[in-house]
Structure 1
Amino acid sequence: MIANKETPSAARVADERLNELIAEEVGARSPTGSINKLLAFVAFSWAMFQLYVASSLPFILEFGFFDDTEQRVIHLGFALFLGFSLYPAFKTSSRTHVPMGDWLLAIGALVSTLFIVVFYEEVSSRAGGSRTFEEIALSITGLLLVLEISRRALGWPLVIIAVIFIGYALFGPYMPDLISHRGASLNRLLDHLWLTTEGVFGLPLGVSSSFVFLFVLFGALLEKAGAGNFFIQLSFSLLGHLRGGPAKAAVVASGLTGLISGSAIANVATTGTFTIPLMKRIGFSSEKAASIEVSASINGQIMPPVMGAAAFLMTEFVGISYFEVITHAFLPAIISYIGLFYIVHLESAKMNLPILEKLHKSSVIQRLMNMSLSICLIVLLSGVVYVGVGFVKTLFGELTSYVCAVILFVSYLILLWKAAQYPEIEVDDPNAPLLKIPDTLPILMAGLYFAIPIGVLIWGLMIERFSPGHAVIWAILTLVIIMLTQHPLISLFRKTNKSLKAETIKGVYEVFEGTISGSKNMVGIALAMGSAGIIVGVVSLTGVGLIMTEVIDSIAGGSVILMLLLTAVMCMVLGMGLPTTANYIVVASVMAQPFVTLASQHGIVVPLIAVHLFVFYFGLISGTTPPVAVDAYAGAAVARADPMKTAINSFFYDIRTSILPFIFIFNPGLLLIGMDYWWEYVMVAITAIIAMLAFCAATKGFFFCLSRKWESAALLLVAFTLIRPGYWLNQIEEPYQRINPINIVKIVQEEPTDSSVRLLVKGENFSGDIIDKVVVFSLGPQLEGQTGEDRLYNNVGFNIEQNEGQVLVDDIKYDSPAQLSGMDYGWQVVELQVPNERMAKEWFYLPALFALFLVVLVQLKRKTLSSTEQINERLSK
């Protein structure tokens, strides 16, 4: 056990910093007495309201219908009231009672929101028109209160960004020419941001009300039931015996927690309090231990099905189903965790950390056999469940739901009976001496029944294709039944002397407490959604996305790689200090559309989901980007580490995540897009994993042993080739054949459905400069009887005329793909570019893999010689 050399004052400061960071997530006040009961009642009522509107009860009772706007307003009203009650105005404010000023602000927030519901018909009838004095006054009050509570709950960064955007909307005509716009009056801005669904009550808050609350509630109930501790202990029992085992367990535990968590800081606070001390005890420095946990927790935000609540926002922003979002996001998330796991392995090998012993030793062959058997059993069980449910559907028809419920309950009873035969999973003391790793089987069996509600959720999402809200409602119902019955049934199975009534009351209390906890956890997220709605509203009001396109394009100077790097840097800057949901909303609103436009202008066709995942990933990396690295600071507080060193370490660990967005931009197959055969998916996955491992080894300077500079350079080259093999092919063969555009109309008419046209165009931009650029447009469906002119105008947005052998743009449709790409009347279509028939770019995988093989051979030989020299040296002594 490593001695703790910190002074008591340093430890106290770290504890205070951690408490502050956690308080920013769930509120810093802990009122007592009647006030505490009142806030608990409000939090419980919020949860009941969200469950009610998400269920079928309004249709069954034919009462209590709320449309989307009303749900959003009430949702924010609850969040504002609890926010002013739970979050003090200043660090010196009381933590035990709510001052009268905050009660007045909370009531003012309720009035500012609920008047929209009470006078809904009058407010909606004047949308876009002149507003009354009362509406303007309440709108100003509402916006100011949202900004103030965001300052308290989320810190200054989001407030500063929102204020800058509001100022930009009001003073657009006075801005520099590059970013100027016509501006908006105060009346129009207030109408847009508060009294319509374009601003605060827009899409982000709608997603928060419809889906996010239910998933946060599910996660809180699961944690209160004991599943969080089960995940941590199971990960530790599985991986603790490996070199650097506690660190590897931290990676897996954070991944499992990330399945249900919407916050990186919450992930650090829950898993980190256990894993960080373990990593320190086996030899990791405080900074490295904190950095590993922080990186693992941030990765939890990219892990489906929740993805820090961003998955639900992506369905709205991208316009695809929730199932498609998590399908596309799953493989990159897994590869990112593989990369972090490998970095931990490299760090452990470099430091030659000790290997901890399990309580009961087993050989490597036994462990491999046990692992293989476990995987086979899981696959077999999954297949039996899938086939079995299909059989039940065929056999019982409309009664399937009831039959499945009975089967599920019987399975739960069997698993609970089995769990009762093993000791209860205890919460580990992180300060206790680390002796041996516990056996996996007792922990697995003692908590396996927690897989039932998670299984119900995944089944509803992936197999039945329910909406996220419908699926999580069934999962919550299943979990509540488990929470109410687990304690009395286990007591009954174990034949203890505990009172069944007391055990039942304990379960009821846990459900009540978990519900309140879920609502309190949701306050910060709902406020982030509302505040970010201000930014979304200003973007839609001013068209700042087009301006960002011009800014990035002018700086990048036509370089695709530089354009991608600039976009990544802008996302990291915009995301600094923001929670996951607000982070994604901001970067997606400001950077996603410019990215799509610029990619199209440079001849790159990028799926929209790839763009949103790109900006989402780099927005998250801002959590470890100094100087506002809030996630890293939380990890440093747990580890008693230097915050800045932890942030820098975490940032370098997260570099391996940053290559994934570049992989799926140049190779969308990583997102399971555009592949016709299963073996193509396998090839993409394998090459991406190898590229990730090679990149990690190169950046750490260690593979099988310490790497020489040329070996690290070779590994980087291998990673680059596996990421973008097309780069080398382009150096050998031209990717496109250049054709005179004189016959463009005929070519467009003959192209099949959903094909694209690639053009080199030339003309005058907004600044008056003559530029040329490559643009790519989708031609849409090929309709019978449709001419080439019709298809070009309807789907792309322009007509052409021929003048002295030149093909010119004659007419251009407003807000069409052509107009958004920067083309204008009078532009010349210089050439039509058609893909050349070339060798497959995948052939370049072979020299890359051969180079990797050579590096492996050289390193293994050097490692063997080094080991032999060490043995001879010990023998000579």
Structure 2
Amino acid sequence: MMTGAFTFSFYQLVIAAFSPLSSQVTRSIHVGFLLLMTFLIYPMLSSGRMKRLPWYDVALALTGFALGFYHWIFEADLIQRAGSPTTTDLVVGTVVILLVFEASRRVLGLALPLICGLFLAYGFFGQYLPGDFAHRPYAYDQIVSQLYLGVEGIYGIPTLVSATYIFLFILFGAFLEQAGMIQLFNNLALGFVGQSRGGPAKVAVISSGLMGSISGSGVANVLTVGQFTIPLMKRFGYSPVFAAAVEATSSMGGQIMPPVMGAVAFIMAETLNIPYVEVCKTALIPAVLYYATAFWMVHLEAGRRNLHGLDKDQCPNPWKAMRERWYLLAPLAALVFMLFEGFTPMYAGLTGLALTAVLILGATLTAAIGPTVFRIFFWIVIGLGAAAFVKLGIWAILSLIAVLLLGNLFVKGGRKTLHIMRTSLINGARHAVPVGMACALVGVIVGILTLTGVATSFAGFIIAVGSHSLFASLVLTMLVCLILGMGIPTIPNYIITSSIAAPALLKLGVPLIVSHLFVFYFGIMADLTPPVALAAFAAASIAKASPMKIGFKATQIAIAGFVIPYMAVYHPALVMQGGTWADTGYLVGKAVLAIGLWGAASIGYLYVPLKWSERILALIAAILLVAVIPYSDTLGFCLAAIFLIRHGLSRRRQPVQHLV
């Protein structure tokens, strides 16, 4: 298994650096590696244990991997006989589709395969349905060709993005994690906010947001960063439910936080055919507001419970942490710079990954010589990073990596560093399996939607609803996202809903990128929303608390994630889509005030505990500030002023009290 994972990562690096194969072949071999990894790692039954690999899993793994080369071996023949598949093509295609279903069931559970199976059944038998949802009959060879031989099925855009951008950035996150980036983020967060009121929870918000912006995986972030932050919050007085909810909320927000965001952002950029940096720019303000909400909520909860921060001797010096590991920020800085300078995500990610590898290898090698040599070495790396902005630069970095790999064989600690590199490659491949299998299987839905045109019927229903009320269409789309998100990951959730609902919202006057962000955000919120909140269940395993209670509390903390998408639809200037800077500033200020009022009403505390009448007043003011009705802003500002004046007078009449 480890050999397969290592080879998988090595193959993906070759593809990223040199692009030696055609797009179709790249996707096919990528899925072959995914099938190999899945059947070697995941048992047939969830309760099974992999003490010894069963012969049938080995057979399935090797079969899936071997068939991944079918498009490469017969590439020219498949092109020449396009539209007229042979019996062998159909047999191979059928086997691969079945293997993708079974592999996805093992990795992701039953929900997504069942949904995709229903769409596949619709392709075969939809002609018997009544009304607008019926379609003309399709032969078996047409459906298999659509799903396997073309690029609109399991080898569609999601698989392309998985085989290029997504894998590369997952590997980048794995290298940074092994290099100590999580520890650096934790130390920085502890140093800067650990001593403030409610410091442990603020540390969770900051460190989870920073790491989530790189890894882009919410649930995985809960299980890694949460091992540190949740016990810390519990130890300093936060309830287990609140501590777990804060971590779940902060970790899931990483998928909407630039520069890396989640895998969906890359799929969105490819689907909309826009630069990735445009997705980042559009998502920036909502992401900041999301984390501002979480930060404000933990601050108020700390005040309500009279929770103080950590002692000074328990908080590391952030500047010392920066001095010791500041070089880890160089690859991230290079990545951000290259993305915003117009380089492709693949080239930027490859450069960042290569710089990370150089720094990990070089840190050990130069430590054996002295700090002065390390400084010289680092500036050489910076120079090579600058050189990577031209075509020959990546060759220079790859050559340096080869030299450093050889040098680490002969210095103290070098073999341990080489083991870290190997572990990073293996972990990156393992982390890519769930994302890759979701991308491959959801291609079944995309392929059937494209073949039958059923998406047009559902979109027509949304448009019909929207002709009477755009708000009703948005609520309907939100509910679809939340319901789908109860059983499937964010990636297939986004692909399904964006294929169906986003074109309909576009016809209702919603800008295309805003409509895609709308379904993207609610796909993420589904992981926080009961009854099936994956992030809440992951946090519950650490906090030892009720997942349902955690889900409801996380929904309360993450309220911005539910409100801001609606504001963006009615006021695209909030996401910098039209309007002036003044319009954007006004909307941001209004949103910040609404967040402040919501937090006070929800927690029941501002400077002193709030009476119920004050909480209701603050809640109504917050709702009016985000509502789109005549004079709502004026009423909202007036009620907010009344609330603040009234609360200020209450504060003067009584000493500061805290509810424990």
| TM-score, normalised by the number of residues in structure 2 | 0.90
Matched with 1:330 is 284
- Of residues 32, 43, 56 in structure 2, which corresponds to 1:101? 56
Structure 2 matches for 1:42-57, cutoff 5 A? 42-55=4-17, 57=18
Say which structure, 1 or 2, has more relative contact order (CA 8 Å, 6+ apart). 2
Among 704, 707, 711, the residue aligned to 2:614: 711
Measured against aligned partners, the alpha-carbon deviations of 1:639-674 in whole angstroms (never above 9, x if no partner) come to 111222222222332333100101111111111121
1:690-725 deviation line (CA, Å, top 9, x unaligned): 222223333444333343444344434433443356
2:630 is the counterpart of 1:728: yes
Q: Out of 445, 448, 453, which is 1:535 matched to?
A: 445
**Distance across 2 between alignment mates of 1:132 and 1:532:** 25
Aligned to 2:425: 515
* 1:88–1:152 contact (8 Å) kept in structure 2: yes
Q: CA deviation at 1:133?
A: 1.5
Amino acid corresponding to residue 849 of structure 1 in structure 2: F
Equivalent residue runs for 1:824-863 within 5 Å: 845=633, 848-863=636-651
**Is the 2:614–2:643 Cα contact (8 Å) retained in structure 1?**
yes
Within a 5 Å distance, the mapping from 1:645-660 to structure 2 comes to 645-660=549-564
Give 1:183 shift: 4.2
Q: Is the 8 A contact 1:667 1:723 kept in 2?
A: no
Match of 2:546 among 642, 656, 661: 642
- Counterpart CA distance in 1 for 2:319 and 2:63 is 55
Offset at residue 46 of structure 1 (A): 1.9
- Tell me the CA shift for residue 556 of structure 1: 6.7
Aligned to 1:115: 70
- Which stretch has the larger CA shift, 859-868 or 276-285? 859-868
Name the residue aligned to 1:478. 355
Report deviation, 1:555: 5.9
Does 1:253 pair with 2:155?
no
Q: Aligned residue for 2:333? A: 455
Report the CA distance shift for 1:278/1:675 in structure 2 as closer, same or farther (over 3 A): same
Match runs of 1:333-412 below 5 Å = 333-359=287-313
1:810: which partner in 2? none
Matched AA of 2:98: L
The equivalent residue for 1:577 is 487
Q: Give the direction of change, closer, same or farther, for the CA distance of 1:501–1:142 in structure 2 (3 Å limit).
A: same
1:188 paired with 2:172, answer no
Shift of 1:237: 1.9
- What residue is the counterpart of 2:570 in the other structure? 666
> CA separation in 2, counterparts of 1:500 and 1:863?
68
CA deviation string 1:422-467 (max 9, x = no partner): xxxxxxxxxxxxxx323322222222211111011011111x2100
Cα separation, 1, equivalents of 2:181 and 2:315:
20
Q: Distance in 1 between matches of 2:275 and 2:310?
A: 45
Larger Rg: 1
1:225 alignment partner, one of 166, 179, 201: 179
Letter in 2 for 1:248: K
* Higher fraction of strand: 1
Q: Is the 8 A contact 1:577 1:629 kept in 2?
A: no
- Evaluate the alpha carbon distance shift between residue 493 and residue 616 of structure 1 in structure 2; reply closer, same or farther with a 3 A threshold: same
How far off its partner does 1:92 sit?
Answer: 3.9
Counterpart contact for 2:256–2:262, Cα < 8 Å: yes
- Pairwise CA RMSD: 2.3
| Residue 78 (structure 1) aligned with residue 78 (structure 2) | no
- Name whichever of 617-626 and 86-95 sits farther off: 86-95
Q: Which runs of 5+ in 1 are unaligned?
A: 1-38, 59-64, 360-435, 730-843, 872-877
2:403 counterpart residue number: none
Match of 2:3 in 1: 41
CA distance in structure 1 between the aligned counterparts of 2:303 and 2:325, rounded to whole angstroms: 32
Aligned with residue 524 of structure 2, among 614, 620, 628: 620
Asked if the contact 1:666–1:723 (Cα under 8 Å) also holds between the matched residues in 2, the reply is no
Aligned to 2:92: 138
- Total equivalences in the alignment: 623
Distance 2:583 2:505 in 1: 27
Q: Is contact 2:568-2:574 (8 Å) kept?
A: yes
Give, in whole Å, the separation in 2 of the partners of 1:616 and 1:481: 35
Give, in angstroms, the shift of residue 136 of structure 1. Answer: 1.2
User: 1:254·1:296 contact (CA, 8 Å) conserved in 2?
Assistant: yes
Alignment deviations for residues 124-166 of structure 1 (CA, whole Å, 9 cap, x no partner): 2232x23221111111111111010101111111111111111
Aligned to 2:504: 594
The 5 Å alignment of 1:123-162 reads: 123-127=78-82, 129-162=83-116
**Residue of 205, 217, 221 corresponding to 1:267:** 221
Quote how far apart the aligned CAs of 1:353 are: 1.8
Q: Is the 8 A contact 1:262 1:580 kept in 2?
A: no
In structure 1, what residue type is equivalent to 2:647? Answer: Q
Larger deviation, residues 448-457 vs 697-706: 697-706
Per the TM alignment, residue 548 of structure 1 is displaced from its structure 2 partner at its CA by 1.6
Q: Distance in 1 between matches of 2:529 and 2:211?
A: 23
Corresponding residue for 2:376?
none
Choose between structure 1 and 2: higher helix proportion. 2
CA distance change for structure 1 residues 652 and 125 in 2, over 3 Å: closer, same or farther?
farther
**CA distance in 2 between partners of 1:493 and 1:229 (Å):** 24
Check conservation: 1:342, 1:693, Cα contact below 8 A.
yes
* Residue in structure 1 matching 2:21, options 49, 66, 77: 66
Letter paired with 1:454: L
Counterparts of 2:593 and 2:131, CA distance in 1: 47
Q: Secondary structure at the match of 1:703?
A: coil
Letter in 1 for 2:482: M
Is the CA contact 2:199–2:308 (under 8 Å) kept in the aligned structure 1? Answer: no
| 8 Å CA contact retained: 2:6, 2:429 | yes
Partner SS state of residue 200, structure 1: coil
In 2, Cα distance between equivalents of 1:551 and 1:175: 17
Q: Is the 8 A contact 1:304 1:311 kept in 2?
A: no
**Residues 571 and 591, structure 1, Cα contact 8 Å, conserved in 2:** no
Is the aligned partner of 1:506 residue 2:416? Answer: yes
Counterpart amino acid of 1:686? G
* 1:136–1:639 Cα change, 3 Å: same
1:738 maps to what in 2?
none
More off after superposition, 588-597 vs 259-268: 588-597
Q: Which amino acid aligns with 1:250?
A: A
Instruction: Give TM-score scaled by structure 1 length.
Output: 0.68
Distance 2:617 2:368 in 1: 61
For the 8 Å contact 2:200–2:310, the answer to whether it is kept is: no
Cα distance change on mapping 1:706 and 1:124 into 2, 3 Å: farther
